[in-house]
A and B are shown apart, each in its own frame.
Chain A
Amino acid sequence: MKQMFDFILQPWPWYVAGPLIGLTVPTLLLIGNKSFGISSSLRHVCAACFPADIPFFKYDWKKEIWNLIFVLGVFFGGIIATNFLANPSDFVLSEATINDLKALGINDFSGLMPADLFSVETLFSVKGLIFFVFGGFLVGFGTRYAGGCTSGHAIMGLSNLQVPSLIATCCFMVGGFTMTHLIMPIIFKLF
C-alpha cells in the first residue's frame, strides 16, 4: 500500500498519463454525450458574463454548463495534486533545456515554473505583460479562431480522425516552434 502511494507521489510517466488523458474522450462521451474540449469554456465565460450583443456569444450557455464545471474540477484537481500528492524529490529537467534557458537568463529550475517569471511582481513589468497578458490573449484568440485547442483538436479531433484537426494540430506546433526558437530569444533580449 505504501509502495503504491509512493509511486503515485512520483512524477507520472507519459505511458500512464497519456492513456488516462485519452480515456477522458470515451468517459465524457459515455457519461453524457459530451465531446471533449476545454477552450470552449472560455467562450462560455464570455457568453455568460459579457455577451455585449455579439452574435458569437448569444447562445444558451447554460446548456453547456458542464464544460465550466469540468474546468472547475481541473482547478480543484490542481489544488489536490499540489497539496496532497506533491512530488517529494526535485523537479528533473533535461540538461539541454536548462542550458538553453540559462542562456536566455532563467536561473531558477527548482519548480514546475521558472520563479524568475511566474511571480505576481513580474506581472507589473514589461516581461509580465508579454508572458502573461499578451501570451494569454494569443491563447484565447487563437484557440477560438482555430475552433479548439490541444484537447478539442489534437485529442478529440484526431481521435475522431478529422483532417482539419490534424491541420490545426500541426499549426499549433509550428506556432510553438516559431515562438521558442525565433521570437523568444528576441523577447528575452528586451530586459
Chain B
Amino acid sequence: MKNIQEIQNTAVVEPFVCEAPNDMKKAESWTDNIKYLIVGILFGIVFVKAEIISWFRIQEMFRLQSFHMYGVIGSAVVVGMISVFLIKKFNIKTIAGETVDFHPKKFQKGQVYGGLIFGLGWAITGACPGPIFAQIGSGYMVVIATLLSAVAGTWVYGLLKDKLPN
C-alpha cells in the first residue's frame, strides 16, 4: 500500500532538471528549512575566513601565483568524492530515511560554451555565484549590481535557450 502511494506521489512531480534539485519526497515546513539557513551561514563564514570571496585571491589563482585556491577546491573535491563514495557504498540514508538521489549529467555543448563564458565572468568579477552573496554580506554594496546582472544573465539564457547550440 505504501509503495503505491509513493509511486502516485512521484508521478505527480513534474520533471525538473537543475544541478541542485530537491529530491526529498517528504514535504518540508518552514522550520525544516532552518537547517539550510544554518548550513548556508557556516558556508558563508568559511568563504569569508578563507578569503575565497576576495577578488585578489581569484587573480592570484588565475596568475598561478598562489596555491591557496587550488588547495581549497582540490581538497573540497577530495572530501566530496570520499563522502559520495561512502554514501553509495553503504547506502547511507537521509535523516528522513530516504535513499540519497544522485544525478548523472549528460554531456552538452553548453558545458563548453557556457563554461568558457562563466570563466570570463569569474575572473573579471572575482566571484562565482556563491561568493557573490558573501561579498554583499561583507559590505561590498557594489556587488549588488553584479548579483542583479547575474540574474539578468540567467533570465536572458532562459529566453534564448532554444536558439543556442546545446
Contacts and interface: CB of A to CB of B under 8 A. Distances in A.
B151 A14 contact: no
Contacts of B19: 35, 37, 39-40, 147-148, 152-153, 156-157
A78 interface: yes
Q: Interface on chain A toward B: helix, strand, loop, or mixed SS?
A: helix
Contacts of A168: 111-112, 114-115
A180 B24 contact: no
A159 interface: yes
Interface in A70-124: 70-82, 85, 87, 91, 93-94, 96-97, 100-101, 109, 112-114, 117-120, 122-123
A126 interface: no
A64 interface: yes
Q: How large is the interface on A (under 10, 10 to 19, 20 to 34, 35 or more residues)?
A: 35 or more
A100 B22 contact: no
Interface in A162-191: 162-165, 167-181, 183-184, 187
Interface in B112-152: 112-130, 132-143, 145-152
Interface of A: 8, 11-43, 45-46, 50, 52, 54, 56-57, 59-60, 63-67, 69-82, 85, 87, 91, 93-94, 96-97, 100-101, 109, 112-114, 117-120, 122-123, 128, 130-165, 167-181, 183-184, 187
24 contacts: A11-B50, A11-B51, A21-B43, A22-B77, A31-B36, A33-B22, A35-B20, A50-B155, A52-B159, A66-B36, A73-B36, A75-B134, A78-B47, A78-B48, A78-B137, A93-B56, A97-B56, A113-B54, A136-B125, A136-B147, A136-B153, A146-B111, A146-B118, A167-B115
